[in-house]
Each structure stands twice: as C-alpha cells, then as structure tokens.
C-alpha cells in the first residue's frame, strides 16, 4: 500500500464499511485503516471479522468490528450508532455488502426477490439514512455505493442481483441531490471482474481467466485493492466536487 497515494484528509476520519470481513470489503478496511482512518465494519462472518480486527489492531490501527446481518435494518443501524459512540459520527459510509449467488429467473419466488433486494440494495439506503444527520452536523461527508458491471454486460443467472445493482445507480443519483446542499457527496463505485477468493472458489475457473482478460481493454486482472484505492479517492477531500457519478473499475470492459 505504501506505493500508492496517501490522503491527509482521511486521517482520523470515522468510516463505516459493510461486508468488511473478506474480499473487497476486507481490502477496504485495510486501506482505510492504513490511511489513519477510524474504521468500523460489519459482516455476518464473525470469525473472519474478529481475525481482521486483531491483525489491524496489533499494527496500531483504529478498527472496530460488529457482527451484523445488514438485512436486519434495526441491528445494522444500531451497529452504526455503536461505531459513532466509539469513533465519532461517520463521515464516510461505504455500502459494499452484497451477495451474488446465481439464480434462474423462473425459480425466483416473491420471498427470494425480497431477500436478494434486502442484501444487495435496501441496506444501502437505510445506512445512508443513519449516517446523514451526523455528516450534516459535521459539515459534510461521503457515501460510496457499490454497483456492478454485471447488468451492463448482461451476465447470465443473476437477474435479481443485476436489478438491484442497476438500482444502485438510481439511489446514488437521487441521494446525491437530496444530500448535496449539506455537502454530502454520494457516488457509485462499479467493480468489474475482481478476482476475490470467493469468485475463484465459486464462479471463475482457470480456463475463464483468458476470456475475462480478452473482454477488458487492459491486460491483467482486477484485485480488491484496485477498488479500495478508488474508494479512498472518493472518500477524501480530493474529490470534494464529485457527486452523483458512477466510476467503473473494470479494466475497460463495460460501457457505463
């Protein structure tokens, strides 16, 4: 991380991250902690979250973890309040948590629909609702919503997930307008084919790697850190006049 940019405005800044125990989320936690931010994160993976906190705390970083299912809105908002009590009101919110389990459109039930929307979209709105008053009181803040190129490139077997991720753009645009006069910036970060361990274990086979790279304009493969470093910029004062936008971190694959 030392080879990349340092953002002085992020030092001591309270940050809340959802889904922070593994994959892109864990990289977000590590990158913000390395900037000197005060990081609070939630995840359902309790053991992984606690391990990450122990590691970063031993390195001298200010990090807290609360096990939480972000589809339980009351519990999630309580966790956000707990982070505020420890670190101060969040000035950065990263709505990263999602679940991209494959599904066939003909098998989706109304309960399935509601559950997938809850884990991929609903929590982002209510987390924003929870942090906005504190950001307003502080004179501003940044919300970063995670989208996906999956709906742009029409990835199969993800219809409800892709609907939710497309809706993230609408959420970003609407909340950027709603909160902008309070100096709260809202943007979307849209990852491409990021090779997390989960993707490699479940979906991406070795023979798929060449095809992924062929679809990209750039050679090589995306890592969680590539997304985390864009999030740092969008959270920092360096991006102070950027809001209501979506930023593709996809090596030049999708047409956003």
Instruction: Considering only residues 3 and 107, tell me which one the structure prediction assigns the higher pLDDT.
Output: 107
The residue segments making up the domain with residue 40 are: 8-249
Q: Quote the CA–CA distance of 43 and 67 in Å, as a whole number.
A: 5
**Each residue's pLDDT tens digit, 159-184:** 999 999 999 999 999 999 999 999 99
Write down the pLDDT at residue 2.
Answer: 55
Identify the active-site residue in 4, 7, 76, 161.
161
CB atoms within 10 A of CB 3: 4
Write down the pLDDT at residue 198.
Answer: 76
**Each residue's pLDDT tens digit, 136-148:** 999 999 999 999 9
Handedness of CA 111, 22, 49, 66 (dihedral sign): negative
> What's the chain's average pLDDT?
96
What are the residues facing 141 on neighbouring strands? Answer: 184
> CATH number for the domain including 117?
3.40.50.720
CB atoms within 10 A of CB 241: 6
Nearest to 116 by CA among 79, 162, 77: 162
Say whether 7 is catalytic: no
Q: Is residue 2 part of a domain?
A: no
Domain count, the chain: 1
Quick one: average pLDDT of 214-228? 96
Write down the pLDDT at residue 256.
Answer: 79
pTM tops 0.75:
yes
CA angle 195, 199, 205 (to 5 degrees): 90
Grouping H, G, I as helix, E, B as strand and the rest as coil, residue 118 is helix
Phi and psi at 9, nearest 5°, equal -70, -15
């Amino acid at each position: 991380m030392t080879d990349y940019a340092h953002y002085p405005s992020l030092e001591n800044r309270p940050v809340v991250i959802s889904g922070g125990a593994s994959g892109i989320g864990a990289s977000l936690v590590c990158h913000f902690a390395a900037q000197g931010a005060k990081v609070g994160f939630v995840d359902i993976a309790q053991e992984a979250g606690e391990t990450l906190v122990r590691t970063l705390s031993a390195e001298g970083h200010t990090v807290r973890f609360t096990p939480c299912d972000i589809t339980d809105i009351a519990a999630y908002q309580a966790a956000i309040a707990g982070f505020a009590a420890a670190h101060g009101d969040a000035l950065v919110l990263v709505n990263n948590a999602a679940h991209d389990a494959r599904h066939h459109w003909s098998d989706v039930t109304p309960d399935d629909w509601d559950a997938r929307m809850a884990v991929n979209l609903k929590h982002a709105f209510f987390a924003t609702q929870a942090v906005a008053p504190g950001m307003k009181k502080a004179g501003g803040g940044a919300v970063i919503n995670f989208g996906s190129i999956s709906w742009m490139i029409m990835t199969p077997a993800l219809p409800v997930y892709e609907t939710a991720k497309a809706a993230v753009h609408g959420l970003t645009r609407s909340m950027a307008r709603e909160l902008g006069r309070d100096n709260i910036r809202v943007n979307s970060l849209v990852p491409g084919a990021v090779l997390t361990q989960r993707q490699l274990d479940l979906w991406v086979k070795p023979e798929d790697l060449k095809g992924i790279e062929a679809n990209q304009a750039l050679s090589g493969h995306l890592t969680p850190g590539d997304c985390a470093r864009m999030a740092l910029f969008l959270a920092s004062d360096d991006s102070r006049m950027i809001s209501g936008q979506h930023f593709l971190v996809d090596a030049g694959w999708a047409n956003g």
